[in-house]
Amino acid sequence: MKYESQSIAKWYWFVAMALFAVQVTVGVLAGYVYVAPNFLSELLPFNIIRMLHTNALIVWLLLGFFGAAYYLIPEESEREIYSPKLAYLQLVILVIGAGGAVVGYLFRIHEGREFLEQPLWVKLGIIVAALIFLFNISMTVLAGRKTAITNVLLLGLWGIAVFFLFSLYNPANLVLDKMYWWWVVHLWVEGVWELVMASVLAFILLKLTGVDREVVEKWLYVIVATSLFTGVLGTGHHYYWIGTPGYWQWIGSIFSSLEVIPFFAMVVFSFMMVWKGKRDHPNKAALLWSLGCAVLAFFGAGVWGFMHTLHPVNYYTHGTQVTAAHGHLAFFGAYVALNLAIMTYAFPHLLKRSPYNQVLNMASFWVMTSAMAFMTFTLTFAGAVQTHLQRVLGMNFMEVQDQLALFYWMRLGSGIVVVLGALMWLYAMLGPKAASTELAGQAAPAE
Amino acid sequence: MTRSRTPTLTDSTIPDAAAPPADDWGPFTGLPGHPLMWVLIGSELLVFGAALLGLLGGRIADPVGFRLAQDHLDRLAGGVNTLVLLTSGLFVAIAVVRAKAARVAATRGWLAASAGLGLMFLAVKAVEYATEIGAGWGLDSGGFITLYFLITGFHALHVVMGLIILGIVARWPTAGNVATGAAFWHMVDLVWLLVFPVVYLVR
Amino acid sequence: MNPDIRRLLIVWAALSALTVTTMISGGATSPARVGALGLAVVLAAAVIKVVLVLAHYLDLRQAPGWLSGFRLATLVLAAALYGLALIG
């Protein structure tokens, strides 16, 4: 760690890790409700559990992004963060907002718009925090060295803030409501978040492999160009059946089926960098998470997304467990793995240690990844069965749900394993350093 | 390349290795114009290719409806527009040759001639659209008509974009800029070479 | 005459002739149905035109690997289009 203000990242990531634990735990709870539908139905109904699961996920991922920005911008810009005080103020606002939202949800206080359930005061708090954040990092970047990594990261982070503004716009017309809702949801995860992902991945690979910056930057430009080209009009794949004009079926099908390209480019990019790399970096766990991120994002977001993005297919699969399968692996691969990668890379620096607990960390990668892959396959099979019984044969929704019980039990099992993997990872990061589990030859003393 | 082991935490202090020349784009090196233009060209060809496949795929489901609608198109106008774009492409290719010889006035002249034909293409297309819209066609009519407007409309937007790009490179007519702008213009031309037969003629 | 410009003019003449061929075999002036053979001529002419534009207008002669890649992609696309056109 070269710059003092990089340690701001640590505090963002501590909060992110806590919410990560909450998110996966509540996920298991939701998975249990699928097999025991009346569980907690009075105290904590399923819609609230799901709200906690999705909101905690999004907030911890965003906190991870903020932390990543505070960690990598000083190194890229070669200067301290403009104002560490503002950065901590921003964190306090976010923590109060997130805590307030959670407590509110428990008392059924929410706005009811899926994923954007936060009460208005929380949304406004998020916007204030975002403004502070953008001001802080933009001032840092403007004053320092400009690199492709910071440029793309800034573009992505500004995009996140700009598109969040559409969460305030909720027209009475349900079609328009949904149309603009996707401007937040889709243009985040299939648009500007991809820019954050590409730039953070580029930063980690640059550090881990020592490949020339010029090479990394060119890849970054190609990835950014293709993700914006496909992702923006790809929004159309959410406009098939919500009441928007029929031409969206073609626009959505064509552009969204190409959304796999940037994810494929990220796979090629990361493996090429490792292959060409001149540096044998001791942090093997960070490298594993980075490569895992690219590969899992390609399958989860790219392949599983393509599976049901063409409108003739989506006509049958829309809103079935196929969507759940895609959603789970896409978020895990693209954004969870990305955050775990940058934290795994940066924590040894932040704690001024050599990479530690790597065996446990890498084991947690394989445990979480296997369990998520199993969950994805399970939900995909469930979705295929559901599509056939419900959409093709026309069986009643609840009858079909009974037929899916076995899949839901298996999903619950894989969810529990994910929680165990997450706990392993958290222990590897936050627990005491276990010298005996170090990789051979990695015991270089901390400087 | 040599692998050297650096088991240290100070990787942020290791300077970036000797940089390759800024114009080394790996496999993209050697393509005329800016490499990112070729990323765009590849993406556009995928989009139009998929759209044309979608059109002929949709036609299988409703051959009569597609045929009835397609017979209202002005096939001759589509053919004439092909000749217009090909000639415009010739002019822009000549502009590239002139730009390489650093002949600024000639470069600008050929770019202007090319843009003039681009405008003629748009004029012909506008007359076609006017007739069709007058007959009650719209983007939301469904079936063939929706795809016709989407594909040709998206193409026409690219012609407009191409005219803007030609204007920009005419303002700064270095050989690299002109080659990049020309690459975009030829892509628009090339797409039409596939759009015209598939949309207007296949029946 | 500059040899590059002479070459471009020849290519332009070929492209124009192929376009006229397309218009004739594709029946640009008559509403009659175009048979399987007519369609084959139309699509073959389109492929040749695309390759000519790639090689000469876009100057991919200088990058033979890219030229063959694009040519292959165009051929595959045209074959798929032809197949769909015959089914429909």
Instruction: From chain A, pick out residues whose CB is under 8 angstroms from the CB of B54.
Output: 250, 253-254
Whether B13 sits inside 8 A of A282 (CB atoms) is no
Touching chains C and A? (3+ Cβ pairs < 8 A): no
Q: CB contact, 8 Å: B49 with chain C?
A: yes
For position B13, what pLDDT does the model report?
44
Whether C34 sits inside 8 A of B49 (CB atoms) is no
CATH class of segment(s) A1-145: mainly alpha
* Residue C41: closest C-alpha in chain B: B197
Confidence label for A435 from pLDDT (cuts 50, 70 and 90): low
Contact A60, A16 (CB under 8 A): yes
Specify the residue for token string 């789970």.
A328
Burial (Cβ within 10 Å: 0-12, 13-18, ≥19) of residue A342 = buried
User: Is the pLDDT confidence value at A442 over 80?
Assistant: no
Whether B10 sits inside 8 A of A447 (CB atoms) is yes
Which of B103, B186, B194, B199 is the mutation pick for testing C, counting most C CBs within 10 A?
Answer: B194
The mean of the pLDDT values for chain C is 94
CATH class of segment(s) B45-201: mainly alpha
- pLDDT digit of tens for each residue in chain B (203 aa)? 344 444 444 454 444 444 445 667 878 878 888 999 999 999 999 999 999 999 999 999 999 999 999 999 999 999 999 999 999 999 999 999 999 999 999 999 999 999 999 999 999 999 999 999 999 999 999 899 999 999 999 999 999 999 999 999 999 999 999 999 999 999 999 999 999 999 999 98
Give me Rg for the CA atoms of chain C: 15
Instruction: From chain B, pick out residues whose CB is under 8 angstroms from the CB of C57.
Output: 89-90, 92-93, 182, 186, 189
Q: What is the mean pLDDT of residues A362-381?
A: 98
**C-alpha to C-alpha distance for A282 and A263, rounded to whole angstroms:** 27
Fold classification of A201-431 is Cytochrome C Oxidase; Chain A (1.20.210)
**C-alpha to C-alpha distance for A219 and C20, rounded to whole angstroms:** 43
Q: How many CB pairs below 8 A link B and C?
A: 124
For position B4, what pLDDT does the model report?
44
E-assigned strand segments in B41-125 = none
Contact A295, A274 (CB under 8 A): no
Give the minimum alpha-carbon distance from B14 to chain A in angstroms, rounded to a whole number: 8
What ipTM describes this predicted complex? 0.95
The DSSP line for A276-335 is H--B--S-HHHHHHHHHHHHHHIIIIIIHHHHTTSHHHHHHHTTSHHHHHHHHHHIIIII
**C-alpha to C-alpha distance for A392 and A313, rounded to whole angstroms:** 12
User: Is the pLDDT confidence value at A83 over 50?
Assistant: yes
Residue type, C12: W
For B:110-139, CB contacts with C below 8 A are none
Q: At CB < 8 A and 24+ separation, what contacts does A89-96 make?
A: A89/A132, A90/A66, A90/A129, A90/A132, A90/A133, A90/A136, A91/A8, A91/A11, A91/A12, A91/A15, A91/A66, A93/A125, A93/A128, A93/A129, A93/A132, A94/A15, A94/A59, A94/A63, A94/A66, A94/A125, A94/A126, A94/A129, A95/A15, A96/A125
For position A216, what pLDDT does the model report?
93
Give the start-to-end residue ranges of the domains of chain A: 1-145, 201-431
User: Is the pLDDT confidence value at A139 over 90?
Assistant: yes
Specify the residue for token string 């209202």.
B72
Give the start-to-end residue ranges of the domains of chain B: 45-201
Specify the residue for token string 């409309």.
B153
Whether C66 sits inside 8 A of B31 (CB atoms) is yes
**C-alpha to C-alpha distance for A342 and A359, rounded to whole angstroms:** 17
**C-alpha to C-alpha distance for B172 and B181, rounded to whole angstroms:** 11
The mean of the pLDDT values for chain A is 94
Percentage of chain A with pLDDT > 90?
Answer: 93
Whether B56 sits inside 8 A of C81 (CB atoms) is yes
Give the start-to-end residue ranges of the domains of chain C: 3-87
pLDDT along chain C (88 residues), means of 10: 93 97 89 88 97 96 93 97 93
For position A130, what pLDDT does the model report?
96
User: Is the pLDDT confidence value at A215 over 60?
Assistant: yes
Fold match flag (A1-145 vs A201-431): no
Q: CB contact, 8 Å: B175 with chain C?
A: no
